[in-house]
Amino acid sequence: MNLHSESFGCSPVILDGGFGTTLEQWYQLDISGTHLWSAQAIVNHADVVIETHLAFLRAGADIITTSTYQCSYATFARAGYTTADARRIMSLSVQLASQARQIFRDEQGKIGNPIRDVRIALSLGPFGASLKPAQEFDGFYPPPFGPKAYSEPDAGNCNTFGDDAVAESESIYALAQFHFERLLVLFEDETAWNSIDCVAFETIPLTREIQAIRRAMGLLNDRIATVVPYTNRAKPWWISMVFPDGLYPETSRDGSTRMSVANIVSTAIQNPSPNYPSPSGLGINCTQVEYFPKLISEFNDKLQKYQNMKISDRDVGLRAKNDIFKPWLVLYPNGGDVYNTVARTWVQGSQNGEKHWARTLKESYAPSRIWAGVLLGGCCRTTPTHIQLLKQIVHSSIDH
């Protein structure tokens, strides 16, 4: 059974919005120039971190994400912290989210409201989020993680190895180790791991990083198996990809085109095994909402073909149709502005307003049997106001 279904039950489920940008927009914290972005607030403004979580919960979020998107040993080192500091701060992020959850539950109990089953997602950004300038929107990674580090605009930047299979394999290994070591930080803290309900790998710009994440989760499965029964410690997890201007950042091997959605979905779900598991969910984040209908249609087409192939490949009489792999669809667009990674500033984009954003997101998908359910929320430049309106629109459509 899909672990997301076990954890969340009824669809749709509402995610929170852009945590770091809400710290900036609502609470006037200056974090854009820091190495740690939203994680910097864990150190200096723990009370504001809790209050930000609470703002999203009060707006209607069923899932809140930890402020760990840019956390890695390398980013902490550049910010002047030790490895021990990095582990402590990442665990503290989970603790603050857990405190916010308990405060919210207490609030709801005091006013006689039903206690909502709030979940905590461990937020883990791509390797590119640890670079300067950030590379989650382009995927220009330095060796061994990629073919070449970003230099300057129009300076021959590239994010594919072409036909160099050896270098690509080394890159996947390096990226898998990067993600695995971050997972271990929380897994080895029993209190933190028990507080986490799911893991979110976000804004992934490269298919080889998708492969690396699946390997990292396979390594985690191996570690889980040595400690306790697998089912007691395994977490549902998703991979969400980014599509700036509606296109995936990764180019084809010859550099002539962009990677197709069909290739992306295939990379995420095909050939599963305990050491190379498929995610519980996949989808799109930090992309303008106007691009979602076309992208979702392409996701649907590929997943449907995969499921049909699996049905035809086996004796249906021996296994029930509900054994066919059905991930959750995860959708959380940005608020419409565009981030300049070099200047580290936001460029104003769509000004249609929060209600238009929420309605467009709700209307961008239709319930489908090929998905186990849908998670809806916001990414950068979406606030608790966006989430409140989204919750209202979603529930209004259910009531009717």
For 144-179, how does the pLDDT look when each residue is reduced to its tens digit (9 = 90+)?
999 999 987 767 899 999 999 999 999 999 999 999
* Mean of per-residue pLDDT scores for the chain: 90
For 55-114, how does the pLDDT look when each residue is reduced to its tens digit (9 = 90+)?
999 999 999 999 999 999 999 999 999 999 999 999 999 999 999 999 999 999 998 888
Q: State the Cα–Cα distance between residues 196 and 182, nearest whole angstrom.
A: 14
What HEC string does 92-112 produce? HHHHHHHHHHHHHHHHHHHCC
Can you give the length of the chain in residues?
400
Give me the residues paired with residue 375 across strands: 13, 330
Q: State the Cα–Cα distance between residues 187 and 174, nearest whole angstrom.
A: 20
Compute the Cα dihedral for 195, 198, 202, 205 and give only its sign.
positive
Q: What is the pLDDT of residue 164?
A: 95
Whether residue 313 has pLDDT greater than 70: no
- Burial bucket for residue 332 (CB in 10 Å: 0-12, 13-18, 19+): buried
At 213, list the tokens.
């994440």
29 pLDDT band (50/70/90 cuts)? confident
Q: State the Cα–Cα distance between residues 264 and 283, nearest whole angstrom.
A: 10
Predicted TM-score (pTM) of the model is 0.93
Q: Which residue has the tokens 């498929």?
A: 278
379 is in an annotated binding site: yes
User: Which 8-state DSSP code applies to residue 258?
Assistant: B
For 349-369, how does the pLDDT look when each residue is reduced to its tens digit (9 = 90+)?
666 789 999 999 999 998 889
Q: Is 380 within 8 Å of 337 (Cβ atoms)?
A: yes
Q: State the Cα–Cα distance between residues 85 and 81, nearest whole angstrom.
A: 6
Of 54-63, 287-296, 319-328, 363-372, least confident by mean pLDDT is: 319-328
380 is in an annotated binding site: yes
Share of the chain above pLDDT 90, in %: 72
158 is in an annotated binding site: no
Q: How many CA atoms lie within 13 A of 164 on its CB side?
A: 13
Single-letter amino acid, residue 333? P
Q: State the Cα–Cα distance between residues 196 and 158, nearest whole angstrom.
A: 36
What HEC string does 305-373 produce? HHHHHHHHCCCCCCCCHHHCCCCEEEEECCCCCEEECCCCEEECCCCCCHHHHHHHHHHCCCCCCCCCE
